[in-house]
Homo-oligomer: A and B are copies of this chain.
Amino acid sequence: MSEETRQHIIRTGADIIHRNGFNNTGIMEILKASGVPKGSFYYYFESKEAFGVEVARYFADHFAEQVAHIMNDAGIAPVDRLKMFFGYFKKYFESEGWSRGCPIGNLAQEMGDLSEKLQAELAMIFERMGRSLAAVIAEGQQQGQIAEDLDPYDTAVFIISAWHGAIVQMKVRKSSQPLDIFEKSIFESFLQK
């Protein structure tokens, strides 16, 4: 019983939950896929809810890491960083046949009313996402690339909403169309004006 095993269970469970949903994924299924003995779940996690919080943290950290090299590269123009950020995930969704969606958005929708712990954790994750995007937007304004009359934080919250909703439409339309329209609307219109 080790921290390594604990992390392995989180990663394995996160992948199944990303594919099938939180309520639709059983603890036994996660343990079986992890190759961990039955009954050891509660040694590592207090409850399925506590496990869900760990999964949400894992996803947030994992995705933030994947795009950190883009978001923190002061050598790339702020608007291009935003384009690369959304482009990175679009490529991922394409590789998955326009399925799965954003695991943070999925958990928010599915568990926002059912678990106060998950709700609070996800609210923090959305807030961090908003602050992080707002910083790049403010940079873009300073460099004259983004309309000055937009509030950076509100604009970030709005863009995150528009992106998550586009991902949900992508998931049922099974095409890039909602994401293409999102990019066009944000970059050719909303941020420009």
Contacts and interface: CB of A to CB of B under 8 A. Distances in A.
A21 B126 CA distance: 21
Interface string A156-191: 011011111110110111100110011011000110
**Interface residues of A, dominant DSSP:** helix
Copies in the complex: 2
Interface in A113-163: 113-114, 119, 122-123, 126-127, 149-150, 154-155, 157-158, 160-163
Interface of A: 19-21, 23-24, 99-101, 105-106, 108-110, 112-114, 119, 122-123, 126-127, 149-150, 154-155, 157-158, 160-166, 168-169, 171-174, 177-178, 181-182, 184-185, 189-190, 193
